[in-house]
C-alpha cells in the first residue's frame, strides 16, 4: 500500500490541522485521540511516512524504531497510566479496521478495559 500524504495524521504533522500534543521527540509525536474510547486515549505516531506497523517495522531505521518505542513508554508515564495499566493497540490493514493509513499506536487506559477481543462466532 502506498502512503497517502493527505491522510489526517500527515496533515497534523504538517500543522495543517490541530491536535492536542502531549509529547514530541526527533522522530515521534503523541496527541490525544479526537474520539476517546477510554478515559485516557492517546495516539503515538512516527513523523516518517509509514502506512502501518507492517510498513514501519520493515522500513523504518533503527533510530526511528528506538525513538518510537521509547516515546510510547514515556507517553504512558506522562499521562499517568503506567501504575494502573494500559493497553497498546496498533491496527494494520483491513481485518483490523485501521481507519487512518499512517502508523499509530493507541494507548488506552484510565479504567478497567475488559477482555481484549470480541469472541469469535
Under the criterion CB under 6 A, does residue 113 sit at the interface with ligand AMP?
no
Residues 40-71 as b or e (16 or more Cβ within 10 Å = b):
bbbbbbbbbbbbbbebbeeebeeebeebbeeb
Question: Which three cell numbers mark 55?
Answer: 510498513
**Cβ 117 vs Cβ 91: under 8 Å:** no
Residues labelled as active-site residues: 104
Q: Which residues contact 15 (CB under 8 A, 6 or more apart)?
A: none
Query: According to CB under 6 A, which one of 33, 67, 74, 82 is a site residue for ligand AMP?
Result: 33
Under the criterion CB under 6 A, does residue 14 sit at the interface with ligand AMP?
no
Under the criterion CB under 6 A, does residue 119 sit at the interface with ligand AMP?
no
Only one of the segments 22-30, 67-75, 80-88, 91-99 lies at the binding site for ligand AMP (rule: CB under 6 A); that segment is 91-99
Under the criterion CB under 6 A, does residue 98 sit at the interface with ligand AMP?
yes
C-beta of 13: minimal distance to ligand AMP in Å? 11
Amino acid at each position: 500500500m502506498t502512503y497517502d500524504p493527505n491522510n489526517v495524521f500527515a496533515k497534523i504533522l504538517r500543522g495543517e490541522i490541530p491536535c492536542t500534543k502531549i509529547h514530541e521527540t526527533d522522530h515521534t509525536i503523541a496527541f490525544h485521540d479526537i474520539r476517546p474510547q477510554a478515559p485516557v486515549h492517546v495516539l503515538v505516531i512516527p513523523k516518517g511516512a509509514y502506512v502501518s506497523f507492517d510498513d514501519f517495522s520493515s522500513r523504518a531505521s533503527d533510530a526511528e524504531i528506538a525513538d518510537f518505542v521509547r516515546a510510547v513508554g514515556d507517553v504512558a508515564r506522562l499521562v499517568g497510566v503506567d501504575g494502573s495499566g494500559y493497553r497498546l493497540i496498533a491496527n494494520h490493514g483491513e481485518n483490523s479496521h485501521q481507519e487512518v493509513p499512517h502508523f499509530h499506536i493507541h494507548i488506552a487506559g484510565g479504567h478497567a478495559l475488559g477482555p481484549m477481543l470480541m469472541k469469535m462466532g
